[in-house]
Amino acid sequence: MKKSDFIVIAIVVVFLAPFFLFDAVYDAYCAGNKNFPLWMAFLKFGILATFGEMLGNRIKNGQYYHKGFGLLPKFIVWGLLGMWIALAMSVFRIGIPGFMERYQAFSGISAAMNEPFSGLKLLGAFCVSVMMNTAFAPVFMTVHKICDMHIAAHDGRVSALVKPMPVKQYITQMDWGVQWGFVFKKTIPLFWIPAHTLTFCLPQDMQVLFAALCSVILGLFLSIAAMKRSA
């Protein structure tokens, strides 16, 4: 381990400790989730997903940060995407069980999604996860990749966020062999569908946080995908 690894571990411990040591901090966090859910989603994904990319960078390049990484623009983009994810989770969490209620065999599944764990809740969580990861996730992943390419094209400068984005150019340049063959074809069925099934089995006020924690894993996947492109 490098000195930077110990520094990062220390920062993580200092950041998390107040939530376990001081009830007031945890209560403020819970109040924020209740009163400002989208802004809290912005912070959760902005912090955790960006940290995940830094971990991926550590694996790929041996360092957490390098010139042109674009820490602040990545944080802002992930925060905005986190708000989008939080909205999508609400839509699918309510919509899919509601649709399933139309069939007598799934009667009560909407109520089960808000109750303690049961077989019916697991079924509902799985169906919600499958639909979200097949209908929403590919679009989300492609949008994120385009944003990431745009930040890299401007050497990680914050000004990238206000510069015109040549989407057609980025889509043409994207390695669709990796995007389809690894990101879509492998990570969605093998990781994201099971992970989000577990997510939707959790109490509702923990779901966005767990999804944000899963985004740390996404950073590792991105580093693997980048190494596949360079191989």
C-alpha R_g of the chain: 19
Nearest to 56 by CA among 217, 228, 211, 190: 217
* Per-residue pLDDT tens digits for 18-48: 888 888 888 898 899 889 999 999 999 999 9
What sign results for the dihedral spanned by CA atoms 148, 193, 123, 209? Answer: negative
pLDDT of 14 > 60? The answer is yes
pTM over 0.75: yes
Residue 122 burial (C-beta neighbours within 10 Å; 0-12, 13-18, 19+): middle
Report the alpha-carbon distance of residue 143 to residue 180 in Å, rounded. 14
Angle at 61 between CA 57 and CA 62, to 5 degrees: 95
Tell me which H or E stretch contains 214.
helix 204-230
Query: What is the mean predicted confidence (pLDDT) over 174-202?
Result: 91
Angle at 79 between CA 214 and CA 41, to 5 degrees: 65
* Per-residue pLDDT tens digits for 74-93: 999 999 999 999 999 999 99
